[in-house]
Amino acid sequence: MSKVFVIGGGASGMMAAIAAADNYNEVHLIEKNEKLGKKIFITGKGRCNVTNASDMNTHLNNVVSNPKFLYSAFNAFTSEDLMELIETTGIKLKIERGQRVFPVSDHSSDIIKAFTILLKERGVNIHLNTKVVDVKKAEKTERGNIEVKLGDGRVVYCDSCIVATGGCSYPVTGSDGDGYVFARENGHDIVETHPALVPLNIKEEYCKELQGLSLKNVKLSIFADEKMIFSDMGEMLFTHFGISGPLVLTASSLVTDIVKNKKITAVIDLKPALSKEQLDKRLLRDFSENINKNFKNSIDGMLPKKMIPIIIRLSGIEEDRKVNEITKTERERLVELLKNMNLTVTSTRGFNEAIITKGGVDIRDISPKNMESKLVPGLFFVGEVLDLDSFTGGYNLQIAWSTGYAAGNSIW
Ligand SMILES: Cc1cc2nc3c(=O)[nH]c(=O)nc-3n(C[C@H](O)[C@H](O)[C@H](O)COP(=O)(O)OP(=O)(O)OC[C@H]3O[C@@H](n4cnc5c(N)ncnc54)[C@H](O)[C@@H]3O)c2cc1C
């Protein structure tokens, strides 16, 4: 039986504490907030997309940074294992579109409730309002070989210490980067951190005019110095600073670490179902049906209202021109614009708005089997503090559950 400290009462820390307690260890879960799972509470827009009920390959394919590292942890604790564990507490789960798993109640608080029950059942000692300020290797004594300093000045010892402090996204929830400090002090490298799954700032001022406009079934492609790095269909949103929405958040994970050094362009295809030729024919038909109308009144059927003045301005065709006066070249320019609306990405939004942190503790010094430091035996890193991140869909929380389980379960 070991004395185990788990620092951080988020998803990965609670899971690690449960797994360590299952092995009859003395487990102390240390959380600086006044309650557990503050970030879980705001996940999935308050509904908590707790995992994804797909197979391991799908999980691995949705990991952006270092998927291979997760092979063993994902194998040892799958999304099915997680769902089974939660349902033992009486909290029921449901599977929605894209295999996304949510509590039946649609309340994230149910997931926190389930984990609180699991922790209590196993006799985990929970220390709230307790901040850890330092973690270091100590001389091996019967008190333990890892020294942990608390915010009130107390110094405590354990045999194994699991750092589950999260990344630095949404710092109001408590994850403000302490884990990186602990890692550095113990000789670990930190891969530069960037906000990910985050909206994008755009140079073109007209985004402001489009604020609030949501586009469904558009294609978004992202180019880095002319090379396409992302292209997908879906939904996006204009905001006062640029663009957001599901497509944009996904694309941001591929852009965040290169936006400073490369020219990033977001290209929106407003009519992905039509080829340029088909779109030209459609325009010709619309124009011939509106032969005596001004240009500005002839494209209502084709675009959302808010977008019309912008498209007119960008097309260079005077809004009051009669449609029968529009030349073939002008029409071609319009088609080009509707198929390839170019936006210049200047940067991402900050950590305050980021769903996840890209970068973190370098996984080359961490054992993929149990998340133990290769530099300091008995020290473990789990969850978002590691250089691991996924796309949306419940995949990020599964990283937290699986890595937390791998660490806790390996301690005897
Ligand atoms: C708005 C939002 C929505 C999201 N929605 C989803 C979703 O639906 N599905 C999904 O899969 N993922 C989602 N995520 C991502 C997911 O929440 C994270 O991947 C996950 O919470 C990471 O878990 P963690 O345990 O590593 O870190 P965290 O959940 O951040 O937990 C870290 C804990 O450590 C504590 N802590 C930090 N430093 C110290 C210290 N020095 N001493 C003591 N305690 C400390 C913090 O207070 C915190 O409670 C969302 C994220 C955000 C921000």
The rounded Å distance from CA 175 to ligand 1 centre is 6
In-domain check, residue 236: yes
Q: Which of the listed residues 34, 119, 397, 398 should we mutate to test ligand 1's pocket, taking the one with most ligand atoms within 8 A of CB?
A: 397
pLDDT at 290: 83
The rounded Å distance from CA 18 to ligand 1 centre is 17
pLDDT at 301: 84
Residues 240 and 326 reside in one and the same domain: yes
pLDDT at 141: 76
In-domain check, residue 285: yes
| pLDDT tens profile 311-353 | 999 999 999 999 989 999 999 999 999 999 999 999 999 999 9
Residues 185 and 213 reside in one and the same domain: no
Residues 84 and 209 reside in one and the same domain: no
Sequential DSSP letters for 340-382: -EEEEEEEE--GGG-SEEEEEE-GGGB-TTT-BBSSSTTEEE-
pLDDT at 300: 84
pLDDT at 388: 98
Nearest CA to ligand 1 atom 13: 43
pLDDT at 142: 79
Q: What is the CATH number of the domain that holds 332?
A: 1.10.8.50
In-domain check, residue 354: no
Q: Give the number of the atom of ligand 1 that is nearest the alpha carbon of residue 51.
A: 11
In-domain check, residue 60: yes
Report the alpha-carbon distance of residue 8 to residue 6 in Å, rounded: 6
Ligand 1 binding pocket includes 7 (Cβ within 6 Å)? yes
Ligand 1 binding pocket includes 52 (Cβ within 6 Å)? no
Q: Give the number of the atom of ligand 1 that is nearest the alpha carbon of residue 13.
A: 25
End-to-end alpha-carbon separation of the chain, Å? 6
Residue ranges of the chain whose pLDDT lies below 50 = none
Residues 206 and 189 reside in one and the same domain: no
Residue type, 392: T
Query: Structural domain tally of the chain?
Result: 2
Show the domain range for 60.
3-193+359-409
The rounded Å distance from CA 80 to ligand 1 centre is 21
Residues 42 and 146 reside in one and the same domain: yes
* H or E segment to which residue 237 belongs: strand 227-238
- Bridge partner residues of 126 (DSSP): 29
Ligand 1 binding pocket includes 393 (Cβ within 6 Å)? no
Closest CA to 250 of 42, 393, 118, 102: 393
Ligand 1 binding pocket includes 164 (Cβ within 6 Å)? yes
Nearest CA to ligand 1 atom 53: 355
Nearest CA to ligand 1 atom 23: 11
Ligand 1 binding pocket includes 359 (Cβ within 6 Å)? no
The rounded Å distance from CA 277 to ligand 1 centre is 48
The rounded Å distance from CA 168 to ligand 1 centre is 9
> 334: burial class by Cβ within 10 Å (0-12, 13-18, 19+)?
buried
Residues 241 and 363 reside in one and the same domain: no
